[in-house]
Amino acid sequence: MVLLVLLSGVAGCAWSARAGGAGTVRDLTELGAEGEAEVSAGGRCGRGVCLAGARVTGGFFGRSRAGSAAGKLEYLWFFGRNAGALGVSWGPRVVGEETGHVVSIHLSAFEPFPSGRPAGSIGAGMVAGFGFGDEAVRGGWFGVGVFWEFSDIFSWK
């Protein structure tokens, strides 16, 4: 995160750092919960901001520990007083002793906090993922989560 802050100051690029958690479900029988941390950097593109970075998760899925480390691409846009983001991430995932790869799509909404002079943003979002590999990793799942965006993304509006 320190490197992203230095890059944003030197090169004038946008940066993002998030932490949060999500609940997940697969086949309406396997529930999970995972904490997540994300960092990314990028610049203005079109009417928004394009970011590239990394996403790390850890927690449980079904009765097994679960985690992933993924690269991500994200497009952040602004509407009214809020912001939205559409992202895709991909990388290795572990569920119990089984391994594979995961591709996931993230749709998030942000609200500046505090609204007058934001120091960050409160966010909520949905994620849908599909895994390839061993049985516990394979297949799709859906999740919802909340997070805190540490940077003032609204300064890039």
122: enclosing H helix or E strand: strand 120-133
Q: What is the pLDDT of residue 155?
A: 83
pLDDT in tens, 107-148: 999 998 877 666 788 899 999 989 888 877 788 889 999 999
Q: Which residues contact 114 (CB under 8 A, 6 or more apart)?
A: none
pLDDT band at 5 (very low <50, low <70, confident <90, very high): very low
Tokens matching residue 61? 């899925």
Residues 1-28 have a mean pLDDT of: 71
pTM summary value: 0.83
